[in-house]
């Protein structure tokens, strides 16, 4: 027969065992969490990837065109690895460079950004702004974008970043300002009609100002925007554009292996938050536009991590359509 004292002793030992196990589990989880955060902040955030895609979008008989798509650098002057990686991209010898915005995140970032672009500025180029070119980043819960659309942030009033200086410098180098504007550029052997909108994420897009049937005589009709908002992309598609380029989503920035993008921070579906797709995604029209969404080069300084979603630039090689001509 077990005495009452022995039962009490066993109960106490069992309780302590459970406490010890729970503490070990918490220590293990905290260690794994810190390790993951360290990896996402120090390693993956600086682990730049060059994505390559072939896009069958040109008329038959035309030579391929190499388009370098950069986006969302969110540059602060101290990001030396990012600066040197951007500086290395000219070796790809693109025929055209497209920058879909959110280039800066600091008042002193314009000059380093332009210096990093360096010889890329001597190539034909196109740019639009993102909201973060206008407004300096503010401290916030870095996880809030996982459950809240950042366009719902309180209105910030007047822009406080040197977006106009940034734009003027790119324009002075010969790049086309496509913020609610249309234009025509020559790149490689091609005559390209370009139209773009300012950032729909903060309501600055004015598609009506550029609305018009895209010129069927051009070799390529290119639509450019920061946020890949489906309602805006519908209008580009209706006007006959061949290729749409956007950024903004950061590919979700924090992704789950096997699951992928959790949030897009705009109206596009998570499956098209990065990479090459069509718009609309389904349909029988073989001429509906191709869509490339860049996962971007950087992050907000207040959310300095990326997980299962490396920072990237993309080289799109445009080639003739299959069965065209």
Residues that bind Fe ion (CB under 5 A): 72, 102
Output 96 or 303, the one with its CB closest to Fe ion.
Answer: 303
d(CA 323, CA 276): 20
What secondary structure does DSSP assign to 43-103, as a single string?
IGGG--EEEEEEEEEEPTTPPPEEEEEE----B-TT-HHHHHHHHHGGGG--SEEEE-S--
In the complex, what is the shortest distance from the CB of residue 244 to Fe ion, in angstroms, rounded to a whole number?
17
State the Cα–Cα distance between residues 168 and 149, nearest whole angstrom: 30
Q: Which is nearer to Fe ion, 188 or 196 (CB)?
A: 196
CB contact set of 33 (below 8 Å; sequence gap of 6+): none
d(CA 308, CA 294): 15
Q: How far is the CB of 247 from Fe ion (least distance, A)?
A: 6
Report the nearest approach of Fe ion to the CB of residue 101 (Å): 8
What lies within 8 Å, CB to CB, of 309 at 6+ separation is 44, 250, 251, 252, 253, 254, 255, 261, 274, 295
Smallest gap, in angstroms, from Cβ of residue 132 to Fe ion? 6
Task: Find the DSSP H helices in the chain.
Answer: 4-38, 80-88, 110-117, 131-134, 163-172, 230-238
Residue corresponding to tokens 């035309």? 62
* Minimum distance, C-beta of residue 17 to Fe ion, in the bound complex (Å): 49
Q: Is the distance from CB of 55 to CB of 292 less than 8 angstroms?
A: yes
Beta carbon of residue 194, minimum distance to Fe ion (angstroms, whole number): 21
Distances (CA, A) of 199 to 66, 162, 210: 25, 16, 14
Nearer to Fe ion, 58 or 104 (CB): 104
| Token output for 319 | 């080639």
- Under DSSP, is residue 304 helix (H, G, I), strand (E, B) or coil? coil
User: Quick one: 62 or 299, whose CB is closer to Fe ion?
Assistant: 299
102 versus 312: smaller Cβ distance to Fe ion? 102
Q: Taking the complex as a whole, how short is the minimal distance between the CB of residue 226 and Fe ion, in angstroms?
A: 8
| Residue closer to Fe ion (CB basis): 230 or 301 | 301
Closest contact distance (angstroms) between CB of 105 and Fe ion is 9
Task: Between 85 and 220, name the residue whose CB sits nearer to Fe ion.
Answer: 85
> Which residue in 194, 184, 242, 191 sits closest to 218, CA to CA?
191
Choose between 102 and 219: whose C-beta lies nearer to Fe ion: 102
């Amino acid at each position: 027969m077990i005495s009452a004292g022995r039962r009490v002793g066993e109960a106490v030992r069992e309780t302590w065992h459970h406490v010890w196990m729970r503490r070990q589990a918490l220590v293990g989880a905290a260690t794994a969490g810190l390790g993951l955060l360290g990896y996402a902040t120090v390693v993956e955030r600086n682990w730049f990837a060059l994505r390559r895609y072939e896009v069958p979008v040109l008329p038959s008989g035309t030579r391929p065109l190499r388009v370098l798509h950069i986006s969302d650098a969110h540059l602060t002057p101290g990001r030396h690895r990012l600066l040197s990686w951007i500086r290395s991209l000219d070796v790809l010898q693109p025929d055209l460079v497209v920058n879909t915005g959110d280039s800066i995140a600091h008042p002193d970032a314009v000059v380093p950004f332009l210096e990093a672009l360096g010889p890329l500025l001597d190539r034909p180029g196109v740019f639009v702004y993102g909201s973060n070119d206008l407004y300096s980043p503010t401290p916030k819960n870095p996880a809030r974008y996982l459950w809240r659309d950042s366009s719902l942030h309180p209105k910030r009033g007047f822009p406080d970043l040197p977006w106009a200086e940034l734009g003027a410098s790119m324009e002075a180098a010969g790049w086309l300002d496509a913020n609610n504007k249309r234009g025509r550029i020559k790149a490689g052997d091609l005559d390209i009609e370009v139209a773009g909108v300012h950032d729909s994420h903060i309501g600055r897009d004015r598609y009506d100002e550029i609305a018009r049937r895209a010129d069927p005589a051009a070799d390529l009709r290119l639509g450019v925007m920061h946020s890949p908002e489906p309602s805006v992309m519908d209008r580009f598609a209706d006007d006959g554009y061949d290729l749409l380029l956007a950024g903004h989503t950061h590919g979700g920035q924090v992704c789950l292996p096997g699951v992928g993008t959790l949030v897009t921070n705009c109206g596009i579906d998570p499956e098209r938050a990065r990479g090459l797709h069509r718009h609309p995604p389904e349909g029988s029209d073989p001429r509906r536009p191709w869509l490339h969404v860049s996962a971007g080069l950087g992050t907000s300084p207040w959310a300095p991590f990326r997980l299962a979603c490396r920072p990237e630039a993309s080289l799109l090689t445009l080639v003739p359509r299959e069965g065209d001509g």
